[in-house]
Amino acid sequence: MADLFEQYLAKEAGMGEEMLKQIRSKAIGRRLRRNEQLLMPGEICRHKVFVLKGLLRTYSVSDGGNETILQFSPEMNWTLDAESYDQQIPSRYYISAVENSEVLLWHKNDFDRLLADFPALKKYAEQLISRNIYSSRQRLQTALGATPEERYEEFVRTNPSLLARLPLRMIAAYLGISLKTLTRIRHAQWAR
Amino acid sequence: MADLFEQYLAKEAGMGEEMLKQIRSKAIGRRLRRNEQLLMPGEICRHKVFVLKGLLRTYSVSDGGNETILQFSPEMNWTLDAESYDQQIPSRYYISAVENSEVLLWHKNDFDRLLADFPALKKYAEQLISRNIYSSRQRLQTALGATPEERYEEFVRTNPSLLARLPLRMIAAYLGISLKTLTRIRHAQWAR
């Protein structure tokens, strides 16, 4: 599985073989069963995570028990709770596996060292952060300004490959709408 | 007014006098009248903006004419459309003055040069980006998971000084709720 990571990074960030070997050598591999937690509220996010296989979600649960999903992280994506990781403070989020998954983990100290040693990795990390900012802004705009129908259509358009992998309740929790509303929207679409 | 900027940055980022002078020397001062646009959709965001005085807002307008406000930027805050600025592509947002305002502008080329020349400025810029990521995530969580009442209460708690400076319709556009709903919430609170 580790080959996949090196292939991905060579292609995505144009990194050379020696550098990839160094980065890879600091990673810890881990398998997660479906529904297994990688991070829980109150814990400190100590690792950067790369998803080799499967699908993770980052979410919070309100006092009333409602789940809000901030992010899905399918294979070939990075994830973490940035605030908890950067500042090494307790997280307010869960990160858990939607499917049986395989991840690579880097301890913050090791990754910080890699960033300092490899300017190309630092540049790649900055690009990831920028993309994260752009997509968060787009997502906020949709959450604030779009109707439930528009939100669902945008999700289908931008995440076609995730649709069949997610239970409806998770799609609803990602869109910030009720399961009932989502079911109604989907029925209306089938009826067209 | 420019003194305010140097004081702010000296305190906020611990920058020395020589560096502040250099940064300041590349800035262009500009006054904006209330409702004046600093950026419009289709334009490229060519400047980093620091608000010395007054209040700006970043917003989009849907095809149906609905305004969604992504950000308020009161005095002593930075603003820009990151995606348009980083990639020098047309923006999808407006940035305009809520009050008569005074801003400092840095052309991207000049600011990039300053970032390369001053590692402390680069570090400060990275901190701002991180804070932006944390607050965007919090805002997204609220937009997706909180009731209109909870959203309004969070806004009042986190932005007490902005409340009296903003027309209600802008608060509603920031919270992603209708003016009618906001008015109802406020009446209910007064009646408590």
Give the pLDDT score at A16: 86
pLDDT at site B14 = 83
* Predicted local distance difference test score (pLDDT) of residue B159: 93
Given this model, what pLDDT does residue A1 score? 56
pTM of the model: 0.90
Q: Closest chain B residue to A70 measured between Cα atoms?
A: B141
pLDDT tens-digit series, residues B168-180 = 999 999 999 999 9
Whether the predicted pLDDT of B3 surpasses 90: no
**Which residue in chain A has the smallest CA separation from B133?**
A133
- Enter the ipTM: 0.89
Q: Which residue has the tokens 């709770």?
A: A81
Beta strands across the sheet bearing A37-39: A37-39, A94-97, A55-61, A67-74
Position B192 scores a pLDDT of: 67
Mutant choice from A57, A67, A137, A139 vs B, greatest count of B C-beta within 10 A? A137
Between CA A180 and CA A172 the distance in angstroms is 9
pLDDT band for position A191 (cuts 50, 70, 90)? confident
Confirm or reject contact between A45 and chain B (CB < 8 A): no
From the CA of A18, how many Å to the nearest CA of chain B?
Answer: 27
Q: Which of A68, A140, A141 sits opposite B145 (nearest CB)?
A: A68
> Do A176 and B143 lie within an 8 Å CB cutoff?
yes
Verify whether the Cβ–Cβ distance B60 to A145 is below 8 Å.
Answer: yes
Residue B2 binned pLDDT confidence (cut-offs 50, 70, 90): low
Interface membership of B66 toward A (CB under 8 Å): yes
- Residue A61 scores a pLDDT above 70: yes
**Residue A15 has what pLDDT?**
87
Question: What's the mean pLDDT in B88-95?
Answer: 97
Helix and strand numbers, DSSP H then E, in chain B: 8, 8
pLDDT tens figures, A63-90: 888 999 999 999 999 999 999 999 999 9
To the nearest whole percent, how much of chain B has pLDDT over 90? 85
**Where residue A13 falls among pLDDT bands split at 50, 70, 90?**
confident
**What pLDDT sits at residue B49?**
98
Mean pLDDT computed over B122-135:
92
B-chain residues near A145 (CB < 8 A): 60, 62, 66, 68, 176
Q: Does A110 lie at the interface with B, CB-CB under 8 angstroms?
A: no
The secondary structure of chain A as a DSSP string is -HHHHHHHHHHHH---HHHHHHHHHT-EEEEE-TT-EEE-TTSB--EEEEEEESEEEEEEE-TTS-EEEEEEEESSEEE--HHHHHHT-B-S-EEEESSSEEEEEEEHHHHHHHHHH-HHHHHHHHHHHHHHHHHHHHHHHHHHHS-HHHHHHHHHHH-HHHHTTS-HHHHHHHHTS-HHHHHHHHHHHHH-
| Spatial separation of the C-alpha atoms in residues B123 and B23, rounded to whole Å | 14
Per-residue pLDDT reduced to its tens digit, A130-163: 999 999 999 999 999 999 999 999 999 999 999 9
pLDDT tens figures, B36-69: 999 999 999 999 999 999 999 999 999 888 999 9
Structure tokens that stand for A168 in this block: 């409806």
CB contact under 8 A, A132 and B137: no
In whole numbers, what is the pLDDT of chain B averaged over residues?
A: 94
pLDDT tens digits, B96-117: 999 999 999 999 999 999 999 9
Calculate the average pLDDT of chain A: 94
Q: Do B145 and A83 touch (CB under 8 A)?
A: no
